[in-house]
A and B are shown apart, each in its own frame.
Chain A
């Protein structure tokens, strides 16, 4: 067997009792003594390590390196930032794949290509031939470095022990890279993998250090995994394997690149990329693919078959080559494709639903695979597979696992439904009575038994609530300024005199409160306020040329949602239809505020200045929904003015709208041009939005203000919810009357609450030197992925707050923190002592699992009177009269 090649970790495999096989000319472990099934399960539940040193590693150097890579790879190399990796395909001239590969860019000027072990010679020959005419060298550095894949929910924890707590990659996202030392040895880390685990890394080290790291990872609790488990894991993740889902096709010829679902991410036709090997046939495949996605089969001949995951419903095991059938007339009873990969996969059974899902220790098995089938076959199609002579039923599925609930890969079985029907009485009168009863229970529970700490919530005063329910609530009062009448407001409805006056008074109060020249109050939420502004910016940008499709916005600078930015400002939220795509990188033109290394809750102003100079964003959006600090509006305004960067600065104050003033920030004084906000968080209003601007008629951007108004009405609303508009005026009176005391109390209470929680032994986020927070929010860390469970437990005990993912965590299911706000309870009279008492109760519940429900209810019962509103005798009478007279 010594003619086979061995990796530098060969002895480790022998020492561990691995069963070794010939894999593409290499002597590699197929499994270790525990067996493939146990290895697969351990990777999914803990952490597996894989020797992937046999894969080819090529260093691509020379002045033409980018041009060469653009020529031989399917991907857009210009889209690859430093410290990023990208999946790509090495296409051949006929539209098939020579190999699939991964391109890494660890440092400026260096490109590192990793290819499949079995294809090294073939790939190198192909690449060398294609390199003729380019000033480029291809160095096979496979021997110099070893590679270990570390995959599974505990992968990050283990690697960070080795890194001494240093973060592994520059960003905590898939395909991010990092260069660092681990226990004194230099390593390169990639957040990549072939197992479908949401948390998984590949570690590249000097060959001399490979055994050291292998043994260290085993000592820390990882288990070794062979090629057998590597195959079952990647199959469960529906990842292609060259030789099965790519390359030679059992129906003859080659499998086209676009047959593989991942192709759409790996192939670019960008003009900047230019011509590349295989571009023409791939373009034809892509056009056919787009049609097929719309169930248009007119170009079926360009992409007659596609790879899709399949699930065997009958008893048996899928294997490569098994023919697939369906009952459609067009198949005429003949096979419509064949299985490309298949086996029986173990998985952990779960109980519960949604966030309450619990992964049990019981395992099941499912018979799954991937199949190359006629492109007319869609998800949820019923097919049949010939399993060694027996025709068994199967289902085409979208995926076998999901990676969107870190830290675990979640197995997805077909035909599982969640939720159940809610029981209600039979008659509609009965349903109505039941609804009232339940609504009353809910109201009293929340208002008299719970301590409410959700930072985006508050309770409006009785005055506000009564007004919200009174007559204009179900009316219309559409109005627009008319230039023919000197911009007078023209109302399109009758019966609107009263509400017209209310709206005018509200505008005056809001201008006074915000300190700006103009406000738009018709928007009915914070997110709508933002959408109206984005729409207005785009409209304003395109006002001088309406004859073509409007240009979108870009570059836009915002806070990334992972670092506390709100949904609104993200492409997945309100920015979705307004953000442009950069034709060079083919990515959305968003650049995020960088944060301080020692405090991820604070924007790094100096690093931001560098990005501002580089990107010159046309639009800057300050504001966050997980917020502990002031936004550096003044510093950034000063910088863009000094540098002559033409931009629009907006502050989405959302949470902190009620803190505008001396105790927090005065956004317009600091240089913001536009402020949006939610009127119902720290501000006393019902749920609405507001937009304030500081433009004057003589400004160029006065036209932007006019666009904001029309994008509010008729752009975003027809009916602008007149009930809450009326309540909002009362709330504005309350804010303007009581803001100094209220804002001071909020800031003091937040710091005091934070300090009390820390004193009780909880891990409070933020800078202790400044009392942890500058806002109404307090964030407490409760342990990786424990947020949802702890927030649930607190709710059972009458304390309502949010689970929250901190910047280090991979998503809301991995939330390790709680987000709380002091505004509502401050309004109900909580002060320093009350928050200290609350901190003690919370510590008992969070740290010791104590049942505090009774005590919380008793505590809350003493604090139901609202402060910072007009509560004296004269208004109480007026309120009672109002309630009685209106019958609300």
Chain B
């Protein structure tokens, strides 16, 4: 799992997979899911919503707490991963396969790190 090199990472522990210049899949990293613990519920955003880089896009719930998912990019939600409704644990088991949302018309993004820099970042966080 770890830190796949083909992805980009935000400092809020989301990963970004660019499908083309203005479309990307967004998910949470392995580091994020291990810190959150067993996820039992995902509050998916709605198709057609706009998201802003650095702002809350949706949230996920573990047994103990609710955690915000910060969108790394600005754009419009084209698709959401419905499978997470019945199986939120996919985020724990396959964090890099279980994308949360597909964003199109991407106009802006936060500073994204490559795998090596993100790994170093997680080690600093402790």
Contacts and interface: CB of A to CB of B under 8 A. Distances in A.
Contacts of A316: 41, 43
Most buried by B among A37, A228, A319, A346: A37
A365 B40 contact: yes
Contacts of A37: 38, 40, 63, 89
B12 to A, nearest CB: 20
| Contact-residue size bin, chain A (C-beta under 8 Å from the other chain) | 10 to 19
A232 B66 contact: no
Contacts of B40: 37, 317, 343-344, 346, 365
A232 to B, nearest CB: 6
A35 B61 CA distance: 14
Interface in B39-67: 40-41, 43, 61, 63-64, 66
The SS class assigned to the A binding surface is mixed
A31 interface: yes
B37 interface: yes
A323 to B, nearest CB: 16
Contact of B41 (A30, A38, A228, A344): A344
Nearest to A229: B63
Nearest to A35: B38
Most buried by A among B38, B41, B85, B89: B38
B92 interface: yes
A319 B66 contact: yes
A194 B38 CA distance: 22
B61 A317 contact: yes
Given A228-B37, A343-B40, A35 B66 contact: no
B64 A343 contact: yes
Contacts of B61: 317, 344
A729 to B, nearest CB: 69
Contacts of A315: 41, 85
A316 B61 CA distance: 9
A36 interface: yes
Interface in A1-50: 19, 30-31, 35-38
A35 B38 CA distance: 6
A232 B41 contact: no
Interface in B57-115: 61, 63-64, 66, 85, 89, 92
Contacts of A365: 40
Interface string A399-426: 0000000000000000000000000000
Nearest to B61: A317
A317 B38 contact: no
Contacts of A19: 37
Interface in A318-345: 319, 343-344
Contacts of B92: 35
B42 to A, nearest CB: 10
B63 A343 contact: yes
Most buried by A among B40, B66, B85, B89: B40
A299 B46 CA distance: 48
B37 A35 contact: yes
Given A37-B63, A317-B66, A343-B63, 16 more contacts: A19-B37, A35-B37, A36-B38, A36-B64, A37-B38, A228-B37, A232-B63, A315-B41, A315-B85, A316-B41, A344-B40, A344-B41, A344-B63, A346-B40, A365-B40, A367-B41
Which 6 pairs across A and B sit closest by C-beta, in order of nearness? A344-B40, A37-B38, A35-B38, A36-B63, A317-B61, A317-B41
16 contacts: A30-B64, A31-B37, A35-B37, A35-B92, A36-B38, A36-B64, A37-B63, A38-B38, A315-B41, A316-B43, A317-B40, A317-B66, A344-B40, A344-B61, A344-B63, A367-B41
